[in-house]
Structure 1
Amino acid sequence: MLFSNARKGKDYINKNVFNLSDFRYLPRWIILFIDICIIALSIVVSHLLILGLDVRHYHVYPLVLVFLSIIGINVFFMYLFRTYLGVIRHSTFIDLFKIIFANFGTAITLGVLNYAYYFLFGKKIILIPFIGFYFAFSCLFLFVFRLLVKTFFNAIKENKRSAVRKKIYILGDDDTSVAIAQAILSNPNLPFDILGFISYHNKKVSIKLLGKNIVTKSDFIHHLKDEDHDISGVLIIKETLQKEELDFWVNIFLENNLKIYKAPSMQKLRSNEMINHIKTIQIEDLLNRRPIKLDNLEIKKRHFQKTILVTGGAGSIGKEIVRQVALLEPLQIVILDQSETPLYDTELEMRETYPHINFKFVLADISNLSRLEPIFARYNFSMVYHAAAYKHVPLVEENPHEGVLVNVLGTKNLALLSSKYGVNRFVMVSTDKAVNPTNVMGASKRVAELFVQSLQNLEGNSTKFITTRFGNVLGSNGSVIPHFRKQIAKGGPVTITHPDIVRYFMTIAEACELVLNAGTMGKGGEIYVFDMGEPVKILDLAKRMIKLSGFEPDIDIKIIYTGLRPGEKLYEELLSDDAKTLPTSHEKIMISKDPSMAFEEIDELTELVIDYSKKEEKQEIVRILKSIVKEFKSNNSIYESLDK
Structure 2
Amino acid sequence: MLRTFQRSHIAFVHDIIMAAISFPLALYLRVGDGVVYYAPQNILFSSGIFTLIAAVSFWYFGLYRGIWRYASLNDVIRIAKAVSVAVAVLFIVLFLTARLDWMPRSAPIIQWFLLMALLGGARLTYRIAKDKSTARALVRQGTARVPVLLIGAGDEAEAFIRETERSANTPFKVIGIVSLTQGRVGRNMHGVDVLATVDQLEDVIQKLQKGRHGLPRRLVLSGDALRHEDNAKWVEIADRYGMTLARLPKLGDLREGLADPLQIRPVAIEDLLGRPQARLDRDRVREMIAGKRVLVTGAGGSIGSELVRQIASYGPDSLTLLDAGEFQLYAIDMEMAEKYPDLPRESILGDVRDQTRIGQVFDLYKPEIVFHAAAYKHVPLVEHNPNEGILTNTLGTRNVAEACRAAGVGTMVLISTDKAVNPANVMGASKRLAECYCQALETLPLDQRGSTRFVTVRFGNVLGSTGSVVPLFKRQLEAGGPLTVTHEGITRYFMTIAEAVELVLQSAELGRHGVTEGGKIFVLDMGRPVKIIDLARQMILLSGLQPDKDVEIKVTGLRPGEKLYEELFHDSEPPVPTETDGVLLAAPRVVDYGLIKQVFDALEDSATNRNTSKTLELISQLVPEFQPPEIGVKSIFADSNGSETEAAS
Is there any run of 5+ residues in structure 2 with no aligned partner, and where?
1-67, 81-144, 166-173, 177-181, 194-203, 236-244, 249-264, 635-645
Question: What per-residue deviation string (whole Å, max 9, x for no partner) do you get for residues 517-573 of structure 1?
Answer: 111111143310122111111111111111221222222211111111100000100
1:342–1:595 Cα change, 3 Å? same
Distance 2:283 2:223 in 1: 25
Secondary structure in 1 aligned to 2:509? helix
| Equivalent residue letter for 1:580 | P
| Equivalent residue letter for 2:565 | Y
Look up the match of 2:454: 465
Equivalences for residues 16-95 of structure 1 within 5 A: none
Choose the corresponding residue for 2:402, options 416, 434, 458.
416
Distance 2:272 2:188 in 1: 28
Distance 1:451 1:596 in 2: 9
Equivalences for residues 235-634 of structure 1 within 5 A: 242=209, 262-263=220-221, 270=228, 278=248, 279-287=265-273, 289-458=275-444, 459-522=448-511, 523=514, 524=516, 525-633=519-627
Distance 2:355 2:147 in 1: 61
Distance 2:224 2:328 in 1: 34
| Equivalent residue letter for 2:549 | I
| Equivalent residue letter for 2:571 | D
Distance 2:422 2:221 in 1: 42
Distance 2:477 2:415 in 1: 31
Q: 1:214 and 2:189 equivalent?
A: yes
State the shift of 1:297 in Å: 2.6
1:481–1:12 Cα change, 3 Å? farther
Distance 1:487 1:389 in 2: 26
Distance 1:486 1:325 in 2: 30
Contact persistence 2:153–2:184 (CA under 8 A): no
State the shift of 1:289 in Å: 3.5
Look up the match of 1:62: none
State the shift of 1:582 in Å: 2.8
Contact persistence 2:215–2:276 (CA under 8 A): no
| Equivalent residue letter for 1:501 | I
State the shift of 1:386 in Å: 0.5
State the shift of 1:387 in Å: 0.6
1:639–1:552 Cα change, 3 Å? same
Question: What per-residue deviation string (whole Å, max 9, x for no partner) do you get for residues 488-522 of structure 1?
Answer: 11111111111100001111111101111111111
After TM superposition, the score normalised by the length of structure 2 is 0.62
State the shift of 1:281 in Å: 3.6
Equivalences for residues 134-153 of structure 1 within 5 A: none
State the shift of 1:630 in Å: 0.7
Aligned length: 448
Look up the match of 2:8: none
1:639–1:173 Cα change, 3 Å? closer
1:434–1:4 Cα change, 3 Å? same
Question: Highest Rg: 1 or 2?
Answer: 1
1:348–1:547 Cα change, 3 Å? same
After TM superposition, the score normalised by the length of structure 1 is 0.62
Contact persistence 1:288–1:507 (CA under 8 A): no
Distance 1:267 1:420 in 2: 55
Equivalences for residues 81-160 of structure 1 within 5 A: none
State the shift of 1:197 in Å: 10
Distance 1:415 1:467 in 2: 11
Contact persistence 2:299–2:323 (CA under 8 A): yes
Distance 2:286 2:267 in 1: 33
1:238–1:433 Cα change, 3 Å? farther
Distance 1:590 1:580 in 2: 10
Secondary structure in 1 aligned to 2:152? helix
Contact persistence 1:575–1:592 (CA under 8 A): yes
1:485–1:247 Cα change, 3 Å? farther
Distance 2:524 2:475 in 1: 29
| Equivalent residue letter for 2:189 | I
Contact persistence 2:617–2:628 (CA under 8 A): no
| Equivalent residue letter for 2:304 | G
| Equivalent residue letter for 2:564 | L
Contact persistence 2:481–2:552 (CA under 8 A): yes
Distance 1:365 1:265 in 2: 50
State the shift of 1:368 in Å: 0.5
Contact persistence 1:195–1:213 (CA under 8 A): no
State the shift of 1:322 in Å: 1.1
Question: What per-residue deviation string (whole Å, max 9, x for no partner) do you get for residues 49-104 of structure 1?
Answer: xxxxxxxxxxxxxxxxxxxxxxxxxxxxxxxxxxxxxxxxxxxxxxxxxxxxxxxx
Distance 1:379 1:393 in 2: 33
Q: 1:6 and 2:73 equivalent?
A: yes
Contact persistence 2:521–2:587 (CA under 8 A): yes
Distance 2:215 2:528 in 1: 17
State the shift of 1:270 in Å: 4.2
Look up the match of 2:258: none
Contact persistence 1:487–1:494 (CA under 8 A): yes
Contact persistence 1:304–1:331 (CA under 8 A): yes
Distance 2:280 2:570 in 1: 26
| Equivalent residue letter for 2:152 | I
Distance 2:226 2:331 in 1: 27
State the shift of 1:247 in Å: 9.2
Secondary structure in 1 aligned to 2:565? coil
Identity %: 39
| Equivalent residue letter for 1:492 | G
State the shift of 1:475 in Å: 0.8
1:244–1:440 Cα change, 3 Å? farther
Look up the match of 2:106: none
